[in-house]
Amino acid sequence: MMLHRQAISSRMTRMLPSFVRSMATTETPLDASKVKIIKTNTPSKAQPNDQLVFGKTMTDHMLTIEWNRGKGWATPEIKPYAPLSLDPSCCVFHYGFELFEGLKAYRTSDDKISMFRPDMNMKRMNKSAARICLPTFESEELIHLIGKLIQEDKHLVPEGTGYSLYVRPTLIGTTNTLGVSVPDKALLFVICSPVGPYYKTGFKAVRLEATDYATRAWPGGVGDKKLGANYAPCILPQLQAAERGYQQNLWLFGPEKYITEVGTMNVFFAFQNKETGKKELVTAPLDGTILEGVTRDSVLALARENLDPNEWEVNERYFSINEVADRAAKGELLEAFGSGTAAVVSPIKEIGWKGKDISVPLLPGEQSGPLTKQLASWIADIQYGRNKHDNWSQIVAELK
């Protein structure tokens, strides 16, 4: 871990212009042991599970850490949840100096609270930060601080499969100027929201519109980073697809019409070759246009570890909507699903393309295919502590 952390920070440091680099060496690193905790005087009661709406209710506390070029990271503070006060000229409002993460903490079957693969989110957050000249930080220190934040509000982590605490780390540039330049001030904050299952009554398979009239990400762009700037432009195409009866966009890229992602999730397809009988689970390769999903990585790892290699191939390769349409016509399309932290997996039942609907098979009378269902339960078993996976769960609090 140490090695890895240094590798990131030295690579990031090399990417910065020399005038920034020379100052960076004397900056105070992020230090979780210095945290100052101010507890709320009005702790809230947990809402009943059936009243949780995704991202609407926040917990009682938040974490904030200021950063200054030259000085580095200031004392981390955990304090009552409250509005931020920012100058209207602040660069986050004008030029999009913003990035975020999304991860979850779960109440496990043995009454602990555990975060799922937070190291992956920290690694990705540092990559996003470096890309828009915001400061990077020591991953383990922030994981530690998020753990302390969750401990303060541990009574608000809901219990039950599908229920969890959604954690939203955010980093913004806070320099007050209308000049477009490298921010010399930043604010890292973390807020948390108790959430229920994405689909209240089990899975609900979605209809997608294969979208080639708008592009989510492109080579040399920033589609592989979790920058706020990537999300607002995707809402209009989603509304346009909704007018035609589709819930999400299946984002295509280029003249080949490669399948990239769905909405704000990675996407997987399963095929079976009629001649050889061999099955294949496939997702787009990480070529800089694909967000490096933690769920995507987990699905790939679990599929490679648990599926019979005589029966299944697991591939990261380019594949197009034309391949999907052709193979569906031949009866070779088995399943399709999106993957992401919020819904974990999200089954797909239909894809609108060129005025027709490609239909994706589902289990009889159900809302998903067998592999989708299997992967969802493998992941949930690890998240809720019913099963173990090396280094995937990080305990942050004990409840008993």
The footprint of ligand PLP (CB under 6 A) covers 102, 226, 261, 264-266, 291, 293-296, 339-341
- If phi over 0 gives left and psi between -120 and 50 gives alpha, with beta otherwise, what is residue 288? left
CA 250 to chain centre: 17
CB 155 → ligand PLP: shortest distance, Å? 26
Toward ligand PLP, which CB reaches closer, 52 or 103?
103
Q: Which is nearer to ligand PLP, 209 or 332 (CB)?
A: 209
Q: How far is the CB of 132 from ligand PLP (least distance, A)?
A: 15
Please report how close the Cβ of residue 341 comes to ligand PLP at its closest, in angstroms.
Answer: 3
Minimum separation from the CB atom of position 53 to ligand PLP (A): 19
Nearer to ligand PLP, 35 or 342 (CB): 342
Q: Which is nearer to ligand PLP, 59 or 283 (CB)?
A: 283
* Residue number, 341 or 383, with CB nearest to ligand PLP: 341
How far apart are CB 308 and ligand PLP at their closest, in Å?
A: 25
User: Smallest distance, Å, CB 181 to ligand PLP?
Assistant: 27
Q: Which is nearer to ligand PLP, 69 or 123 (CB)?
A: 123
